[in-house]
A = this chain, B = another copy of it.
């Protein structure tokens, strides 16, 4: 893409009404726009990150056999009354609205009830199980305060998967497979090293749930990490019982702040039973399926990546979720040999299918370099009178210090991978 065809502008100054680093930087870089506290629009660069994260999640959910659906934002109170989650006394962060024709509606803050009700017409027999259904959808939470940027929005995008099983063995087997898929997702979005599967409090059906906690000073959670075993314990269940179950000693754990970037838990028959979802087993008996629930926040992952990697120069994107692979900068004026070569390189990269943002504007070298750093794509390539004289191109990794001079052949080879 040509930089001149991208409408978003960058800013030098942080927005004054934001405290979170992710919101400050993403707004400065023109990735997002603030509509209201905790409510952000995604501009082209930000949307590219969001879509890449969604596609990674989608690929991994599909690989598990997950079937994608799209539930609704508007929610029927009748469903939540059956599980006692409609009253504001029980769930205090609903957004509610009213139908003109009468009656209240909720805005999706969760979707367990809606999924179970939808499946009433589609699950009948043990032959229909197991079943894994998911969506990537907006959710709404009426937070009293919204100071964490896109990490805890009032409107946000989440992947939520629900699994349905004939028995506990089948549930546990799938639950373990989901752990593998989650690990691959964290790896692919660049947070693998910093993310710990974390024992946290469960619900009525299990003492524990599992959270995925990404280490960061700005995290809202306190966890106790075993770096050796690559697991952690959330403060809320940090007791002798948990330690002994995991074969850990208090001394080997390090206290850390972390961002909850995913969670998976056992629901048992809580929702299936409340909404009368049943199947007939092999002997013809009616039974209630066991359920699991697997959540992951898309904007939150993007926010966590920003918090974890960004430096004093700006954003830093891991390869698989960067809006572009590289910024291509031309320091020469239109009409020069160097400019022509930069155009050729841009065309060649585009043909190769390499995602490149070509800054061909007539502005200062300093502005272009600073903007490339702020955008934070993995590579920055520079074409100038100097590089063309050497018949080379200048390449720098966003996170490296070294400026490399490469032949064009070497450069293309490198961009291919």
Contacts and interface: CB of A to CB of B under 8 A. Distances in A.
A93 B5 CA distance: 36
A155 B72 contact: yes
Interface of A: 5-9, 11, 30, 33, 35-36, 39-44, 47, 50, 65, 67-76, 92-93, 95-101, 105, 107, 114, 118-119, 121-124, 128, 131, 133, 138, 140, 142-145, 154-155
B138 A73 contact: yes
Nearest to A70: B42
Given A7-B131, A7-B133, A74-B95, 4 more contacts: A41-B69, A41-B118, A44-B67, A99-B142
Given A101-B144, A138-B138, A142-B100, A6 B42 contact: no
A134 to B, nearest CB: 11
A39 B96 contact: no
Contacts of A67: 5-7, 44
Nearest to A30: B122
Query: How many copies of the shown chain assemble into the complex?
Result: 2
B7 A140 contact: no
B35 A72 contact: yes
A97 to B, nearest CB: 5
A333 to B, nearest CB: 17
Contact of A118 (B33, B118, B143, B145): B33
A144 B101 CA distance: 5
Contacts of A114: 35, 41
Contacts of A47: 68-70
A128 B361 CA distance: 12
Contacts of A131: 7
A77 to B, nearest CB: 10
Contact of A7 (B8, B39, B128, B142): B128
A121 B40 contact: no
B97 A96 contact: yes
Contact of A69 (B44, B118, B143): B44
A309 to B, nearest CB: 23
Contacts of A33: 118, 121
A83 to B, nearest CB: 16
Contacts of A68: 44, 47
Contacts of A97: 95-97, 107
Nearest to A42: B70
A30 to B, nearest CB: 7
Contacts of A138: 73, 138
Contacts of A71: 35, 41
A286 to B, nearest CB: 18
A75 to B, nearest CB: 8
Nearest to A9: B122
Contacts of A95: 74, 97-98, 105
A100 B88 CA distance: 11
Contacts of A35: 71-72, 74-76, 114, 118
A35 B69 CA distance: 13
Contacts of A144: 100-101
